[in-house]
Amino acid sequence: MFTLVRRAWRYLVFALSGRLSELSDPRVQIEQAVQEAKERHRVLSQRAASVIGNEHELELRLTRATEETGRLQENARQAILLSERARAEGDETKARSYEESARAFASKLVAAESTLRDTKLMYDRARQASDQARAAVDTNAAALQRTLAERMRLLSQLDQAEMQEQLNTTMGEMSGLAPAGDTPTLDEVREKIDRRYARALGEAELTTNSVEARMLEVERASLDVEGAARLEEIRRGLGLGQRDEGPGDQRTGRS
């Protein structure tokens, strides 16, 4: 449950950082997976560092225990030599004193050797654990590199997919196969213009064949006749003879 909550939180962090409208964008999911892989590698590296650090710490303790054991062993040996020398010189008191010192060094030596064995055992185990930790870090580092390479491949594939989608949309719009949206296709505009033009032709045909149109035509013909008669009347008033007009002179003058 905690893992799901953490994933959801990271997903929201990526989505809300400037790309709130792309919550379902595969890019967000890719980056989320990469960040999780990086986080796992970071945690694993920290744990491995602790294990390796414990190995080094035990190595230092082992070195000190070895040195302490050697020092106590040398002191015990030296005390025995001094005791034997004092006894050879006839100084029994000093000889016993050196022997007591030798026994004290020997007791400390036994304790030190026990500590040395325990420390060496812990060091051997720590070295095995650190070797495993190093191997785990190396393996996870290789996995992280594969994840990063996979991210590059997926992002490249995603770019190609988006480009292809845009191309498909453009070709669909050009071929008139795109779904109807806010912007009509050229085929839709052409059909609309064709309908308006056909309707206009139909209305013109109805208007031309109507009674009102024929009445207007008769009225225009009557006005033309009256206009011609009035023009002849004006000519006679000016003392001009009647003018014969050919078919081409009725409106535009002499041809």
| In the chain, where the domains are located | 2-157, 187-237
Domain 2-157: which CATH number of 1.20.120, 1.10.357, 3.20.20, 1.10.287? 1.10.287
Give pLDDT, residue 234: 80
Amino acid letter for position 247: P
Tens of pLDDT, residue by residue over 105-160, are 999 999 999 999 999 999 999 999 999 999 999 999 999 999 889 888 888 888 88
Residues in the chain with pLDDT values less than 50: 21-22, 246-255
pTM (2 decimals)?
0.52
